[in-house]
Structure 1
């Protein structure tokens, strides 16, 4: 009965603030008793206060909490957000079955800077067969954020992170069909719809992508020295092809095998 009355009291608020995460948290508390909402972290005044409204000065704990700007997190990307797969039950393109998608996929070209959505401490910064290179950050008040499929990671476990710091660069590692950022937000272990909790980036500065060295041109390489039919040969590999050659023999049209001081090397013909 208490849960039903609390839900009825919240109905008028829904007509004005359907996307307000404070109301969302209150609904969770009203309709899902198994999810714990700690009053020290989110008082009743804060739960029902819209962003920007002031809280009475008598509640110093609430004033201190609201000054951290929870739960309106910074965008994890410094480019306009475009959702390619929302927080939902979806048909998995690789597993070929329906499965929960507990994060939000944002389009992000490879090596787009990925930003810490709020200050915190890095709990994990590792590689996983499914999640790829990923980072987990523990934030104050029971929140955590996860960043999956990164091309590279620039932070380490245990490191303190400031809001907006580059923690890595987007990529296509792990079980992924293309470069993007899979982003998750959790409150006391409960995964939330992160797209509804993000605020716009507070900076107009576009960070540069990670420096990438241009690919080196493919050249033949001597893999090993062996003996074939009583004669010493070298195995040379080039663009997926492998041949065996002796000293002074021309390979792949433009390279010659030389034997100098007991060591084989390839010499490019002009």
Structure 2
């Protein structure tokens, strides 16, 4: 009898221990979130990790190697322009840094892929736009402007300015400046004279139109390479480079993005970065 009650007590006690253990396991299973289920209040979800696109991969997409990083914009701007007197003419920026500046003229070609290219590569450019070339689609250039690229003056009709009298030059320069200011919200302060032709009347007319600088260039992009002022075909720190908004008709079948890729290859091969021209200029 004693053995019977002893065994019964042990059986009941063992069952109680087993029940407690099973209850503990059930609680653990209930507290553990299922795979893929959102975390409960006891454990907040880990923050989402966003990965920036690989720079080299982005450049490879366009068949390119990344350019050297552009130096920080100098606090003391090396090119100082005046608000008084004839507009200053220059073709380079005084700097020892291995940086050059890309300018794009006219606005005839409006290739959507070029907007994508600049958005992805983040190469700064200065755009000298001609009213007659862009008035059919002012909106094309706004995404490029939103990337931080400045819009500057290139006259209304792209004439040879020295063949015009002072009033004719003023009409061309001021008219383009007014149109660009209305469309893009900022007034141009620089002028690219069509064909690189200017005279003292151009400087005076530019000043009367609120222009402080007349921008020339040291090398002009053709299709696959530059035409250089330097007989050794070299680029130099601070050089201003000229290219155009052009398409297959002018580029012998190549596109704007292909031409611009060739331009960047020449700059990369020579170990230069591309800076924003206006970051090196102050107007006083």
* TM-score bucket (shorter structure): under 0.3
* TM-score, normalised relative to structure 1: 0.22
Higher share of residues assigned strand: 1
* TM-score, normalised relative to structure 2: 0.21
Higher share of residues assigned helix: 2
